[in-house]
Chain A
Amino acid sequence: MDNLGVFLQIIFWGLYAGCIYILLATGLNLIFGVMKIVNFAHGEFLMIGAYITATIFFISGINPYLIILLSMLALIGIGAVIERFCFRPILGTGKLNEIFLSIGLIYIFQNGAAIIWTDEWQSVKSPYDGISLPFGSLSVPLDYILIMFFTAAIICGLYLFLKKTTIGMQMRATSQNRKGAMLVGIDVERIDVISFGLGCALAAAAGTLWIVSGQIFNPYMGSIPAIKAFAIIILGGLGSIPGAIIGGLLMGLAENGAAFLLGGIWKDAISFVILIIVLVVRPTGLFGEKGD
């Protein structure tokens, strides 16, 4: 492998990691943008989405890429229930309540998953396992191309939903000015449920793509990605969907570049170094606006 080949390969792995981060962080940002709540349990929705996909796959043998939709639908339902019975009652009562609630949810989801699925490490074998495609000077496994394709498709679908549908426009309006949205007759509580459900569905998509890439998983898999998702949305700008996309890609590329150039132990640290630099230079994040 020549130097250019190695460089391209590292970029490719960075883009792959960035795809997972984009989906997770976009969901988190969608929820924050509309509801302004801090949900540390967002990584647990990634984990539940992964387990739902894996369970359906183990039982039915259906192509896991097709199960993404089922997993996302299931998480819309779970997210709606969590929003209605957990976050809505404490909305506006202070960030401390939200933080403790989400920490409680982390324990509930992790231990609940351990009871249902055990805490053994598990893995899913993609139907395209072992298939590679030539990609310039690289030979790239088909699964990673599919992961990038699905990420792009989901983000494009979200963009169209937010831009072209009435509910999407209402979500944007609520995100921009909650009181103003209420004054013009938007049912913001309904928008909260939809936003939370959609955010969870994006986490489920991230979880599904995580496991079809061959990574092993257990009930504690969501903790680290959730921390990184928070770093990404702060980096990109709180409430900014483009910020989450750019931040996710930047994070994926920086982590893999640092792991290659500086060693694996710098993989996590580099993300936070970049975060600190961006916050010092631009406290609102790359795409954030004052007031968020």
Chain B
Amino acid sequence: MKYSVLFIASILIVAVFIAGCTQQPATQQPSTTQGVIKVGVIASLTGPASNVGTNMWQSAQVAADKINSEGGVTLKDGSKAQIRLIVGDDESTQQGGQKAATKLITDDKVDILVGGYSSAVTSSYQQTIAEYKIPYIVTGASSPIITHRTDIDTSYIFHHCPTTDTYGQYTTMFIDQVVRPEVNKKLGAPAARPFRLAMLYQDTAFGKGVQSAVNNTITTGKLNIQLVSQQSYRMGESDFRTPLTAIKAANPDAVYLAAFPNEGAPIITQARRDIGLNTIFLNVENNDNAQFYKDLGQYGEGAIIESRFSPYVAPVGAVADAQNEFKQSYFARFGTFPDMMGASTYEGIFIAAQATKNAGTTDKVAVRQELIALNMPQVIEAMKDQTCSFSPDFRESTFDLWMEQLSYNATLGETRPLIVWPDNLKTTDFVLPSWYVAGSSP
């Protein structure tokens, strides 16, 4: 018995040790608390969302490096403070999120928080944020509930990414104005023909948020779009063949996916390869990710992604150079490209630095006031009026979005995006692929 206890104890110690080995180094900057702004980054370093979470954490490091290399942040007394990042792994779970947020706030005593990807995970620790009144710039969780909910105090939370309401509406408008006319043209159908849209969404606040936005946009805009099938799946699912079979049976003209990249790529692959669902797949912006393109291969041909930052394309205009500089810095350090959540987290660090600089102190009340009053030039993403600021009602940033269509590059064995909407940003027109099969009434 004694032997067994010792043996199991040693196994547990080794397990904890190895678990510790996989954690990213907590800090990259000076360890002194003098002249340091401690920024906690909450990201999914492990679990189903680890790909995006790692990208967010690495982007935060690139931002901190840039700020620190330029001298840091000037405080009220004229001293310069360096940004010191401390990462909290939410493990892609609600429990993990609660642990990470509590540790960053109570143990590491961070001055400000940045990050948060899954809306379900992020909402699970909002009570902790409210209790300790820590300014938190959410850069990944896209459900509007993050700042709209009324059951807890969200006044310290600032939303620096488009919400599901915004991009759900935007994508539905694209379908109505661009995809629907093209399908009607292909079919030789009258403009009155209803567009047959199907949805496959993650059964979380994020997925339901997109579903709700699409339904609301169709209803309020009186759009000629008919939702012929709405299927859901649990987060982290890998086998989508059955809901895709149900969708195919409904004969859709296009399928809108509210999925994470590690779900979106297998959905499209299984749909086209296994089910023979040769249609247009529309994806939400978090799929604009290098791993997504790699996993999709040729099956991504013709697919659409709503986007605001892409590893492989930049809109013409003011932000192109800044985006390229960020991508090059990121690639030089990590050997891969940043994704959209990485981009907004990169900006989140700059916003945290700017608000602290404006406040002249790390006092949380003062920093919150400066976040409310923020009016700084856009960093790398195209913002409304080219300015980073938060709306007075729900403290949300407003981005300029665009739609990309993927084109297969046989040499690379992957697809690459081209901007097809809106007119002021597009580099080419949306086209229906030659293999596309339009829906029809069953």
Interface residues of A (CB under 8 A from B): 1, 6, 9-10, 13, 16-17, 86, 89-90, 93, 97, 100-101, 104-105, 107-108, 111-112, 114-115, 119-121, 123, 125, 129-130, 132, 139, 141, 144, 214-216, 218, 220-221, 224, 256, 259-260, 263-265, 267-268
User: Which listed residue (B12, B22, B51, B266) contacts A104, Cβ 8 A?
Assistant: B12
Contact at A260–B237, with CB atoms within 8 Å?
Answer: no
A107-B243 contact given A90-B7, A216-B265, A268-B234, CB 8 Å threshold: no
B245 in the interface, Cβ–Cβ < 8 Å? Answer: yes
Establish whether residues B11 and A260, one from each chain, have CB atoms under 8 Å apart when the complex forms. no
- Apart from A111-B19, A115-B18, A214-B266, list 15 A-B contacts with CB within 8 A: A89-B7, A105-B15, A111-B15, A119-B22, A119-B50, A120-B50, A121-B295, A144-B274, A216-B266, A260-B243, A263-B231, A264-B232, A264-B242, A264-B243, A267-B233
Within 8 A of A (CB), among B247-268: 248-249, 262, 265-266
Q: Choose from A108, A144, A215 the contact partner of B266 (Cβ within 8 Å).
A: A215
Q: Which residues of B contact A112 (CB under 8 A)?
A: 18
B377 interface residue (CB < 8 Å to A): no
Cβ–Cβ contact B8 & A264, under 8 A: no
Contact present for A216 and B238 (CB under 8 Å): yes
Q: Please give me the residue from chain B that is nearest to A131 by CB atom.
A: B273
Beta-carbon contact of A141 and B273 below 8 Å: yes
Flag if B51 contacts A259 (CB, 8 Å).
no
Q: Which residue of A is nearest B266, CB measured? A: A216
Question: In whole angstroms, how far apart are the Cα atoms of A104 and B13 in the complex?
Answer: 9
What is the minimal beta-carbon distance from B73 to any residue of chain A, in angstroms? 33
* Chain A residues within an 8 Å CB radius of B233: 259, 264-265, 267
Query: B276 near A: Cβ within 8 Å?
Result: yes
Q: Are B237 and A264 in contact (CB under 8 A)?
A: yes
For B18, list chain A residues within 8 Å (CB): 107-108, 111-112, 115
Number of residue pairs across A and B with beta carbons under 8 Å?
129
- In this complex, how many residues of chain B approach chain A with their Cβ under 8 Å: the count is 48
Q: Which residues of chain A have C-beta atoms less than 8 A from B11's C-beta?
A: 86, 100-101, 104-105, 108
CB of B4 within 8 A of CB of A130, answer: no
Which residues on the B side are within 8 Å of A9 (C-beta)? 245, 275
B203 interface residue, CB < 8 Å from A? yes
Q: What residues of chain B lie closer than 8 Å to A264, measured between beta carbons?
A: 203, 231-234, 237, 242-243
| Pairwise interchain contact B248-A111, C-beta atoms closer than 8 A | no
Contact B238 A13 (CB under 8 A): no
User: Are A100 and B12 in contact, with the CB atoms below 8 A?
Assistant: yes
List 15 contacting pairs A-B, 8 Å CB cutoff, sorted by A.
A13-B245, A93-B1, A104-B11, A105-B11, A105-B15, A107-B15, A119-B46, A132-B276, A214-B273, A224-B236, A260-B245, A264-B234, A267-B234, A267-B237, A267-B242
Within 8 A of A (CB), among B330-379: none
State whether B1 touches A120 (Cβ < 8 A).
Answer: no
The residue on B at minimum CB distance from A214 is: B269
Closest Cβ neighbor of A8 among chain B residues: B245
- Once the chains bind, are A114 and B273 in contact (CB under 8 Å)? no
